[in-house]
Amino acid sequence: MTIHQNLIAGEWTGTTGAENINPSDTNEVVGLYASASVQDVTDAIAAAKAAFPAWSRSGILERHTILKKAGEEILARKEELGALLAREEGKTLPEAIGETIRAAQIFEFFAGEALRLSGEVLPSVRPNIGVEITREPLGVIGIITPWNFPIAIPAWKIAPALCYGNTIVFKPADLVPGCSWAIVDILHRAGLPKGVMNLVMGKGSVVGQAMLDSPVLSGITFTGSVGTGKRVALSSVEHGRKYQLEMGGKNPMVVLDDADLTVAVEAAANSAFFSTGQRCTASSRLIVTEGIHDKFVAALTEKLKTLNVDNALKSGTHIGPVVDAKQLKTDTDYIEIGRQEGAKLAFGGELVSRDTPGFYLQPTLFTEATNQMRISREEIFGPVASVIRVRDYDEALAVANDTPFGLSSGIATTSLKHATHFKRNAEAGMVMVNLPTAGVDFHVPFGGRKGSSFGPREQGKYAAEFFTTVKTAYTLA
């Protein structure tokens, strides 16, 4: 099997690697991908540093053209890349193609932003002096991405980094190297100069740690677990570099008595169980007022009965497999914890067998949960949700905010008063009204509060806050 190599200083390199296994069919090897060494990471960082002076001063039309070419190729290959994504991560094919289209849109957006780079010219408070305020690229950026969005998250970090003139050392999650390799290959062929983009695949304990240990990186943008995020922060403080963290979530979906039941059930099912619940924006806490509680649980249970768990590539599949055996064990362990804590297992919770061997788990719904249970406090990152019964809107808001996380928060209601109040008072970076908590646009800021995020927002024009540094220059006329 041909090995997909790392890209270092413009050259493809690597002779040994690891197999990329399809979670829908564990007999299938999606591909063989190189494993970088500590020396490879050192070389990649050195290459990015050497390429930075020229790339940081490159013309905006050059950056625009490269990013536009990348976006166009990703879009043209959406079915192929979507199938690759579904095979390596387990998203259903429609979800995977949708994510691929989003990646293309992100590159096209930042291609446009490259032509809109701007600053300010202001008068000084002192006579005959002019003031210019500009944004300049930060430097060499370390990018570390997770497995759950293997093409969209790399896109929304790589595209702005390049748009603003930074060079990159990129480590994708070792479970899903395929889509990341494809993006890097596309950018390489689109004309990126040598050393501007460097790909180092492999284990976090080797590749990621070597990046954290480097004093050369000017910034690290990371999406992943809370524990690893803390390590990124500590190492960055030690080396005095900028860092950006997107981590966990325990997102609430509030359902009020006046909610449209159909809208509420569709939003909750999408939020909690689609993409196999493997989204940091997923709703795993369904906070329901007592007047609609029983109707909502009954309707949601009926909805879950219609969802087909099967191979991600198979037509008619609503929920694909869990990403790997480790995550499946985490999910089943938490299901047992929920039972032991006294929550009622209202639906699912069982492993299922299909035509191909894979990590298949029924969507799982607990009722009679409290907000103090572990299944309500800790991120499970699987198709497991808990219904928490509350008296009224005030208690629902209090329970929604009673979490160490603060990424996304949703409410289902027909009350303008409650919707307006919730948008203002929900302690989250993103708020959804009568919509799933998962599902965001590519041109607006993404990020959370509390333990979910640290640093500037991602996506849209707000990405400039992380990937650039501000300079103020004074000139005597």
Does 112 lie in the same domain as 56?
A: yes
Distance CA 145, CA 143 (A): 6
Whether 429 shows a pLDDT value over 90: the answer reads: yes
Provide the annotated active-site residues.
Answer: 246
Residue 105: CB partners within 8 Å, gap ≥ 6? 71, 442
Does 326 lie in the same domain as 237?
A: no
CATH number of the structural domain spanning residue 223: 3.40.605.10
CATH number of the structural domain spanning residue 369: 3.40.309.10
| 442 belongs to a structural domain | no
Does 169 lie in the same domain as 297?
A: no
Does 281 lie in the same domain as 241?
A: no
Average pLDDT (388-401) is 98
Does 161 lie in the same domain as 95?
A: yes
Q: What is the pLDDT of residues 354-378, one digit of tens each?
A: 999 999 999 999 999 999 999 999 9
Q: Are 313 and 82 in contact (CB under 8 A)?
A: no
Average pLDDT (329-345) is 98
Does 129 lie in the same domain as 84?
A: yes
Q: How many residues does the chain have?
A: 477
Type and span of the H or E element at 353: none
| 158 belongs to a structural domain | yes
Does 100 lie in the same domain as 234?
A: yes
| 319 belongs to a structural domain | yes
Whether 346 shows a pLDDT value over 90: the answer reads: yes
Q: Report CA-CA distances (Å) from 58 to 138, 188, 219, 254.
A: 14, 16, 20, 49
Average pLDDT (285-295) is 98
Q: Which residue has the tokens 């997909």?
A: 4
pLDDT band for position 474 (cuts 50, 70, 90): very high
Whether 150 shows a pLDDT value over 90: the answer reads: yes
Amino acid present at 322: V
Q: What is the mean pLDDT of the chain?
A: 97
Does 151 lie in the same domain as 294?
A: no
Does 234 lie in the same domain as 256?
A: no
Whether 436 shows a pLDDT value over 90: the answer reads: yes
Distance CA 257, CA 414 (A): 9
Whether 190 shows a pLDDT value over 90: the answer reads: yes
Q: 333: which 2 tokens?
A: 């362990």
| 459 belongs to a structural domain | yes
Average pLDDT (446-470) is 97
pLDDT score of 1:
83
Q: Distance between terminal CA atoms of the chain? A: 66
pLDDT score of 43:
98
pLDDT score of 397:
98
pLDDT score of 49:
98
Domain count, the chain: 2
| 23 belongs to a structural domain | yes
Q: What is the pLDDT of residues 4-60, one digit of tens each?
A: 999 999 999 999 999 999 999 999 999 999 999 999 999 999 999 999 999 999 999
Average pLDDT (145-149) is 97
Whether 445 shows a pLDDT value over 90: the answer reads: yes
| 446 belongs to a structural domain | no
Whether 224 shows a pLDDT value over 90: the answer reads: yes
pLDDT score of 461:
95
Does 209 lie in the same domain as 108?
A: yes
pLDDT score of 260:
98
| 440 belongs to a structural domain | no
Q: What is the pLDDT of residues 236-258, one digit of tens each?
A: 999 999 999 999 999 999 999 99
Q: Are 89 and 359 in contact (CB under 8 A)?
A: no
pLDDT score of 220:
98
Query: Residue 183's closest CA among 158, 202, 161?
Result: 158
Distance CA 333, CA 14 (A): 38
Domain around 46: 3-247+452-476
| 371 belongs to a structural domain | yes
Does 91 lie in the same domain as 219?
A: yes
Q: Which residue has the tokens 């299938």?
A: 28
Average pLDDT (151-160) is 98
pLDDT score of 477:
87
Secondary structure of residue 234 in the 3-state scheme: helix
pLDDT score of 148:
97
Average pLDDT (172-184) is 97
pLDDT score of 473:
98
Does 57 lie in the same domain as 175?
A: yes
Structure pTM?
0.97
